[in-house]
Structure 1
Amino acid sequence: MAQTPQQRRANDKYAKHEAAKRGKSKATASKNSSKPTLSTGWVALLAFVVCGGLLFELLRVVPELWSAIVSVFNRLLS
């Protein structure tokens, strides 16, 4: 059985009312929000894992380099 024009209007009115109760449609909401895929904590942890080894290695090497530089200056001055 086909819809009558009166039923069609009533269905459209009901659909608009229900859509207003739900809020914005998904298509409209997805355009405005772009949520990052990784949280800040995970990015910080990843940066520490990647760069932390380099930092610890520099902390180990710098005193050795400093002592080598001091010994060279001591040989030159004496």
Structure 2
Amino acid sequence: MTQTPQQRKSNERFAKSEAAKRGKGKTVVKQKQSSKSPLSIGWVVILAFVVCGGLAFELLRIIPEIWSTAVSMVKRLTV
């Protein structure tokens, strides 16, 4: 059997009064999940050393060549 409008209003009032008696429920707070890198810090350091270390060694190899070229150009201009 279906509810009449009067029964529906009465049920809504009853539900409100019961909810007021129970009080507010505890709200569930979701904690942020910390995203974890798939690479450990050690591997990141090794990768950075390989990339940047290779660049540093290459610069150490090239700088004396550049310096000697610059010195020879200055000698030609002054002589």
- Equivalence for 2:75: 74
Using the TM superposition, give the Cα deviation of residue 69 of structure 1 relative to its aligned residue in structure 2, in angstroms.
0.2
Q: TM-score, normalised by structure 1?
A: 0.54
Q: TM-score, normalised by structure 2?
A: 0.54
Stretches of structure 1 lacking an aligned partner (at least 5 in a row): 1-27
Q: Which runs of 4+ in 1 moved over 6 A?
A: none
Stretches of structure 2 lacking an aligned partner (at least 5 in a row): 1-29
Identity of aligned residues (%): 62
Larger Rg over CA atoms: 2
Which structure has more helix as a fraction of its residues? Answer: 1
Using the TM superposition, give the Cα deviation of residue 32 of structure 1 relative to its aligned residue in structure 2, in angstroms.
2.2
Using the TM superposition, give the Cα deviation of residue 72 of structure 1 relative to its aligned residue in structure 2, in angstroms.
0.3
- Equivalence for 1:52: 53
**What is the identity, as a one-letter code, of the residue corresponding to 1:49?**
V
Using the TM superposition, give the Cα deviation of residue 60 of structure 1 relative to its aligned residue in structure 2, in angstroms.
0.5
